[in-house]
Structure 1
Amino acid sequence: MKNTLFTIILLGLFFFSCTNSNKKNSYTSQNNLQIADTIHPGEKLMKVYCYACHNATTSENDRVAPPMIAIKRRYIFEDTSKDEFINDMKSWIQNPTEKKAKMFGAVRRFGVMQKLPYPDKVIEKIADYVYDNDIEKPVWFEEHYKQMGGQRGY
């Protein structure tokens, strides 16, 4: 049932993201110069590919997966390199298993994530963005994180 609901949500997200082709062009004109949009491509991809399940605005009770900030806090520590983080994300997304899980509380609550057929380049851009940038937090997240004692398993 969870997999069917997840698939429906994911397909709906893809459908609606593809039908909005009249959105702002990725370039704007100013003084006859073309200036690239300042939004990181990984941020855009994260919103399309990840936020169906990992959106920070979903209430704690309505979640189907942990928010992206929880993933970042569980996978990135002082000694974690960007390459290591990107490889961990690719490994998990392309073949998630309970044995490979790093977020034990999330697996207990939500189950193991479904295997997703995302291209390496998409995962790399998303992970690059997550590694280097502040990620939106749900309003309840810090309190929840403190209650969990800042545990590494979310």
Structure 2
Amino acid sequence: MNKYIIIVVFIALSFLGCDNTKKSNIVDNKEVPAKETVKANSKGYTLMKQKCFICHFERPDPAKRNQMIAPPMIRVQEHYQPSYPNKENFIKAVMAYVNNPSQDKTLMPGAVKKFNLMPKVVYDQTELRFIAETLYLIDLGSTPNMHMKMGKGLSLNNGQKWKLKTESIEQVKSIIEKLNNFNSKNIADNNQLGKDVFDDAKLILLDEDYTGDLFDQIHFFFGGIEDNMHTLIATKSIKEANIQVEILKTEFANFNKYFE
């Protein structure tokens, strides 16, 4: 009798251990969404095509560059997932922004500067949740870093540094000082540092005085580190936070090579 009980328990444990339907993985204490193939006839994707693709391309299309009036959906996904790796938090953040777009809430200041703030549209909240959930789960592939890392996208202005406003230079100095003087093993402090750096960077990106080639260069610089800032804001791992802080220190150390 005991032998049969052992066999039954073993079979049950085997089934429990063979769950191949997990929606996420845990890496460095951070939930990372497992990409899924969302069928073209799924409700969420159908709603996305009907409601979102009116303004947003699914992916960047160089042939239609002049027709872009909003950032591609894949870029929205790439901006939100580092800051909101948890599915429910991601959905809430996307819904909150769509319901009430504002510069204070945006994670994409460069896109706001380029395309203007998203207009406020009244959505059915159930449908909006389907769209946000689909955006979290859908595999849209990946895009090259559109803003490129330093040394590749950045360039001097005919051999001269780009001239920024005094207040912008002071803001960057403040960022560098915060990074260099930071010394905390508390994850909440690290997350706050990421938010402080991002908020300071956002002020510069949204400055209406910066246009044309000058804005493009500013965008190249901050675009190259936006994933690092978002990751530092959201990570729950001190190890990961330390990595992001060091990357930001290195990148900002090069700022004065291009701007003054």
TM range (shorter): 0.5 to 0.7
Q: How does 1:1-154 map to 2 (within 5 A)?
A: 39-55=41-57, 56=59, 59-77=64-82, 80-135=85-140, 141-142=143-144, 144-146=146-148, 147=153, 148-149=223-224, 151-152=226-227
- 1:40: how far off? 2.1
1:88 maps to amino acid: A
| Residues 40 and 46 in structure 2, CA contact (< 8 A), matched pair in contact too | no
Go from structure 1 to structure 2 and tell me whether the alpha carbon gap of 1:74 and 1:54 turns closer, same or farther (over 3 Å shift): same
Q: Deviations over 1:42-62 (max 9, x none)?
A: 110000000011113652332
Two-structure CA RMSD over aligned residues (Å): 2.4
Q: CA deviation at 1:142?
A: 1.7
Q: Offset of 1:143 from its aligned partner?
A: 5.1
Cα distance in 1 for partners of 2:114, 2:40 equals: 36
Q: Against the structure 1 CA distance between its residues 38 and 94, is the aligned structure 2 distance closer, same or farther, given a 3 Å change threshold?
A: closer
AA at the equivalent of 2:101: P
Partner residue in 1 for 2:175 = none
More helix by share: 2
Tell me which amino acid in the other structure corresponds to 1:77: P
What is the Cα deviation at residue 73 of structure 1? 0.6
Deviation, structure 1 residue 135: 1.9
- Residues in 1 aligned to 2:81 and 2:92: alpha-carbon distance in whole angstroms: 12
Q: 1:114 to 1:78 in 2, by over 3 A?
A: closer
For residues 67-95 of structure 1, what are the alpha-carbon distances to aligned partners after superposition, in whole Å with 9 as ceiling and x for unaligned?
00010011002862111111011101111
Amino acid at match of 2:144: E
Flag the structure with more relative contact order, 1 or 2, with Cα contacts below 8 A and sequence separation at least 6: 1
Which whole-Å CA distance do the structure 1 matches of 2:77 and 2:99 have between them?
A: 18
Report the CA distance shift for 1:57/1:71 in structure 2 as closer, same or farther (over 3 A): closer
Counterpart AA for 1:63 = M
Q: Label 1:78 to 1:102 Cα distance change in 2 as closer, same or farther (>3 A).
A: closer
Q: Which segment is superposed worse, 49-58 or 80-89? A: 49-58
Q: Structure 2 vs 1, CA of residues 38 and 135 (structure 1 numbering), >3 Å: closer, same or farther? A: closer
**Unpaired segments of 5 or more residues in structure 2?**
1-38, 154-222, 230-260
**Measured at CA, do residues 79 and 68 of structure 1 come closer, stay the same or move farther in structure 2, by a change above 3 Å?**
closer
Length-normalised TM-score, structure 1? 0.65
Q: Which runs of 5+ in 1 are unaligned?
A: 1-36
2: distance between equivalents of 1:109 and 1:92? 18
Identity %: 29
